[in-house]
Amino acid sequence: MNDMTPQTVTDAKKRYSAGVMKYAQMGYWEPDYTPKETDVIALFRITPQDGVDEVEAAAAVAGESSTATWTVVWTDRLTNCDKYRAKAYRVDPVPNAPGEFFAYIAYDLDLFEPGSIANLTASIIGNVFGFKPLKALRLEDMRLPVAYVKTFQGPATGIVVERERLNCYGRPLLGATVKPKLGLSGRNYGRVVYEALKGGLDFTKDDENINSQPFMHWRDRFLYCMEAVNRASAATGEVKGTYLNVTAGTMEEMYARAEFAKSLGSVIVMIDLVIGYTAIQSMAKWARDNDMILHLHRAGHSTYTRQRSHGVSFRVIAKWMRLAGVDHLHAGTVVGKLEGDPATTKGYYDIFREERNPMALENGVFFDQDWASLNKMMPVASGGIHAGQMHQLLTYLGEDVVLQFGGGTIGHPHGIAAGATANRVALEAMVYARNAGRDIWNEGEDILRDAAKTCTPLKQALDTWKDVTFDYASTDAPDFAPTPEVSA
Amino acid sequence: MTETADDTAPRPETVDLARAFEESGTREVLRELDEEMIGLAPVKSRIRETAALLLVDQARRRMGLATETPTLHMSFTGNPGTGKTTVALKMASLLHRLGYVRKGHLVTVTRDDLVGQYIGHTAPKTKEVLKKAMGGVLFIDEAYYLYRPENERDYGQEAIEILLQVMENNRDDLVVILAGYADRMDRFFESNPGFRSRIAHHIEFPDYTDAELLQISEIMLSEQNYDFAPEARAAMADYIALRRQQPHFANARSIRNALDRARLRQANRLFAEAKGPLGARELSTITETDLRASRVFRGGLGTDRARMAQAAE
Amino acid sequence: MRLTQGTFSFLPDFTDEDIRLQAQYAIDQGWAVSVEWTDDPHPRNTYWEMWGHPMFDNPDAAAVVFEVNECRKEHGSKYIRVIAFDASPGWESIRMSFIVNRPAEEPGFRLVRQEGEGRAVRYTIQSYAADRPEGARYA
């Protein structure tokens, strides 16, 4: 690779004479560059068109995501252009993927506006993804320097304070998405919320596309849901919540809905990823100012996160959302119906919940990342999970997670409250067993069967869903398998 | 909620005591005790007997022949410096390996750690100590000071009542060892029958012989990378014989103190005499003069002080 | 009504051995365990009465069971919970909390509605037991 690599043109007269020049020659390829502690680093997976050299392709990505245009411009010389040029400094072939390369690119901190995901993403995933010399391009990971992390608010509430507000410690939280997604009237919708919360769940949830439709306008939903929440709270002595989706067509309308939710005493509101980064940051600020937990449903993410060759990895979205300031974000279940292998999912969960992420290639985490005391995000696991998987869920996902059983609650043969109770008993029995030192991975089914002896709803749940699994190959597994030493 | 293993596991038909002896690590602890501690033959044999008893009890419980946790509280009597604390440490480790205490740590206290200064102070203090010792062994040194019959309002009585209660109700949670001089312990048990009935094992610690103390002194020195010059060893033997007849003799503890002072004199001597560079040899040798300079060879550690101490008692 | 706050409320009531196992887990995580009681179990009553300080230096959970039983002697007709505090960075909060004692009768809570503008209703939750003065709420 080195023999073929074009050298940077250092003679200023040649470098800035009008015309077209290779990106690598313009200074966007600096193999000797050592990233500064304050640099933003992006790792791209690049698939160059046939005949395009990978170094030139990496340099082009660096150029197009920072200062370059297709031709030389003399106005570069009016700037401190060496500083503003992004630098591709390392290109590695992707293991077992011919034609694909990992390109490491460093960006000076001054290229970005403080506290703006919109500005960060406009550079890093702006023009560059449509660039012709590349067949495909994927943003795999980013290293965000502490100096930049500190310009963001971070999660409005965070795991610690969320638990303190809910008065709930030591076990995963339980939730359910109200089903059917569409068509229930406000009154019928509130019934589902009441039954599920009274039966033992901590949360219920609007689905992503429940906003304000002819069958149920938003105020109706909010009013009936909050009656259900308060009734359930009085029936159990617990703090309960329902994620009221305030997603709407304008910022003004979202604020109006969030204010109404607050006036009714809701502890949590919800938005969809499709409202955009700026709207998310605005709602995070509103949530911090109004003591509200902010749930984000990652609606739409699979359009760009799922395919391995092109788009943006979910781990990058997770990092952006921790900066942007949401409290809850869906992050996969491993065992349910939606995408996610165990190793990659662990990488996401670590990004959500840890103070500091060390590099972990086996989990798809390419950089050490320090979160500079930004609050932790609560991951949400939902989609095709049921009580019979409790031992797997607790093992894979740990304790600080919301487990959402939608169908697994509402589809219970003896009703919604029975479904909720089954889930709560299964969860508590599993946490109890783990704490008591039992091997829940191997003894999980026995533990559940024992718990079902004193809980008929759990027995019914186990019988109903005993054979349901979703065992498909993942489309987004890590590229690096752990060596035996690492996994031991 | 809890299902203990005993409810479900089938009972064995036979037991292999030799294997239990090996696998529980009992053998290992007894070997350490033998190797690390000089003399103490009667103590060692009592501990060996206790270990055997506990192994058999364990086997009986596994076969369903016994259910109650045996009373394990003990008294260690003997003069100061006869190895009571060190043996208590070994005992804690033995009880832990045999599964009679869950953690196996040793908490050592005296009256001051248990008894408070004013009303309402004693119960929390005693409970705090008991809680710290739970899962392990509580060693109460000079336990008889808890009981002061001359003072009716003494708070020691309150500590005694709590101790007795916990010794009875929490037999699974901790083992109490009461320690002190044999005669005073006897009197203490006479006036506190509650204690006597709750102590299952009495172990007496004899004084060390002169030969044993000499051996101990050599081990203590070598642990600190020192040794005796040939004529110093004889001086140490003389020292031991003389010291035993003087007041406040405390067996191994007196030896440790004597060696500490000898090292001090050695250091001073090296400063005074040294004319050139010193080698490792000189720096680690205790000579006869370092020992013979002791007041023990001149009639004792101040007979005045001994008389004052007696008057105070 | 059964108050279902805490880590384990849907399991059968805890025996001393259950308490010991779970408290030992907390101690082994390096958390300080404490005992608290109340006769006002409102879901937002954050501060139950402390039964002594958190136990920072007790290696064995028998100490927790001991204090729970001491607390029961005085407050056996009320709610008692065991709480574990984690002082490690990024947490500095409670990591576990479970009820170990309940009143024989749990009267539960009344939901008070205040009709407001439009169709909005303000809800307040009141413990039936709290109608009586502190100390006289449970038999």
pLDDT at C70 over 70: yes
Name the more confident of A406 and A119: A119
> What is the least distance, in Å, from the CA of A19 to any CA of chain C?
54
Query: Distance (Å, rounded) from C-alpha B146 to C-alpha A144?
Result: 64
Instruction: Determine, for residues C10 and A455 on separate chains, whether the beta-carbon distance falls below 8 Å.
Output: yes
**Residue A372 in contact with partner chain C when CB distance is under 8 A:** no
Confidence category of residue A2, pLDDT binned at 50, 70, 90: very low
Closest CA–CA distance from residue A425 to any residue of chain C (Å): 6
Q: Which of A55, A71, A30, A64 is nearest to A132 (CA)?
A: A64
Q: B 103-162 residues with CB below 8 A of C? A: 103, 105, 124, 127, 130-132, 134-136
Residue A216 in tokens: 């149920």
For A318-375, the three-class secondary structure string (H helix, E strand, C coil) is: HHHHHHHCCCEEECCCCCCCCCCCHHHHHHHHHHHHCCEECCEHHHCECCCEECCCCC
The confidence score (pLDDT) of residue B302 equals 57
What's the rounded Cα separation, in Å, for the pair C36 and C50? 5
Task: Kindly determine whether residue B170 and residue C12, on different chains, have CB atoms separated by under 8 Å.
Answer: no
Tens digits of residue pLDDT in B190-204: 999 989 899 989 999
Chain C contact for B1, CB < 8 A?
Answer: yes
**Which chain C residues are within 8 Å of A164, Cβ to Cβ?**
46, 93-94
Interface of C with A in 43-102 (CB under 8 A): 43-44, 46, 83-84, 89-98
For residues C91-108, give the mean pLDDT: 96
Q: pLDDT (tens digit, 9 = 90+) per residue, A420-455?
A: 999 999 999 999 999 999 999 999 999 999 999 999
Q: What does the radius of gyration of chain C's CA atoms come to, in whole angstroms?
A: 17
Q: How many residues can be counted in chain B?
A: 313
Task: Supply A69's token pair.
Answer: 């245009």
Pairwise CA distance, residues B82 & B213, whole Å: 10
Residues 71-130 of A with CB under 8 A from C: none
Minimal C-alpha gap between B255 and chain C (Å): 35
Are the CB atoms for A325 and A156 separated by under 8 Å? yes
3 state SS for A29-66: ECCCCCCCCCCEEEEEEEEECCCCCHHHHHHHHHHHCC
Residue B70 predicted with pLDDT over 50: yes
Mean pLDDT of A398-404: 96
Give percent above pLDDT 70 in chain A. Answer: 95
- Tell me, yes or no, if A328 is annotated catalytic: no
Q: State whether residue A256 is helix, strand or coil.
A: helix
Is residue A179 flagged as an active site residue? yes
Helix axis angle for A416-435 and A456-465, nearest 10°, is: 90
| Beta partners for residue A241, in sequence order | A203
Of C15, C55, C62, the CB nearest to B170: C62
Query: Nearest CB to B2: which of C15, C58, C61?
Result: C15
The angle that helices A218-236 and A251-263 make with each other, rounded to 10 degrees, is 30
Q: Which residues of B touch C70 (CB under 8 A)?
A: 127
Model ipTM value: 0.96
Q: Report residue A106 as tokens.
A: 């460093």
CA distance A345 to A84: 35
Query: What is the 3-class SS of A398-438, one letter each residue?
Result: CCCCEEECCHHHHCCCCCHHHHHHHHHHHHHHHHHHHHCCC
Which residue in C8, C58, C60, C64 has the most chain B C-beta atoms within 10 A of its own C-beta, making it the best mutation to test that interface? C60
Report, in angstroms and rounded to the nearest whole number, the Rg of chain B calculated over CA atoms: 24
Q: Please state, in angstroms and rounded to a whole number, the distance separating the CA atoms of residues C10 and A437.
A: 20
Among the listed residues A179, A262, A285, A414, the single catalytic one is A179
Residue A418 has pLDDT above 90, yes or no: yes
Evaluate whether A255 touches A290 at the Cβ level (below 8 Å).
Answer: no
Q: Using a CB-CB distance cutoff of 8 angstroms, which residues of chain A are in contact with residue C3? A: 236-237
Q: Closest approach of chain A CAs to the CA of C71, in angstroms?
A: 22
What's the confidence (pLDDT) of residue B2? 54
DSSP A26: I
Q: With CB atoms and an 8 Å threshold, state whether C41 touches A237.
A: yes
Q: How far apart are CA B206 and CA B201, in angstroms?
A: 16
pLDDT of residue C35: 98
Residue A280 CB contacts under 8 Å (≥ 6 apart), including other chains: A117, A271, A273, A296, A321, A324, A325, A326
Q: Where are the beta strands (DSSP E) in C1-139?
A: 32-38, 49-55, 79-86, 93-101, 109-115, 121-127
- Structure token digits, residue A341: 């292998």
Q: Which of A22, A198, A295, A297 is catalytic?
A: A297
- Which residue in the set C43, C96, C108 is minimally distant from A239, CB to CB? C43
A484 in contact with chain C, both atoms CB, cutoff 8 A: no
Flag whether pLDDT at B145 surpasses 90.
Answer: yes
Instruction: Dump strand ranges (E) for A108-248.
Output: 134-143, 173-177, 203-205, 241-245
Q: Which residues in chain C are contacts of B99 at CB distance < 8 A?
A: none
Chain A / chain C CB contacts < 8 angstroms: 109
A402-406 mean pLDDT:
93
| Backbone φ, ψ for residue B290 (5° rounding) | -60, -30
Query: How far, in Å, CA of A58 to CA of A462, rounded?
Result: 52
Give the nearest partner residue to C121 out of A171, A227, A421, using CB atoms: A227
> How does pLDDT run across A306-360, given as a tens digit for each residue?
899 999 999 999 999 999 999 999 998 888 766 678 899 999 999 999 999 999 9
Residue A174 has pLDDT above 80, yes or no: yes
Average pLDDT, chain A: 92
Residue A77 pLDDT > 90: no
- Pick from B271, B259, B208: nearest CA to B232: B259
| B2/C60 Cβ within 8 A | no
Angstroms from C59 CA to nearest CA on chain B? 7
Spatial neighbors of A93 by CB under 8 A, at least 6 apart, are A54, A100, A101, A102
Closest listed residue to residue C18, CA positions, set C86, C82, C102 = C82
* Distance, CA of B130 to CA of C38 (rounded, Å): 26
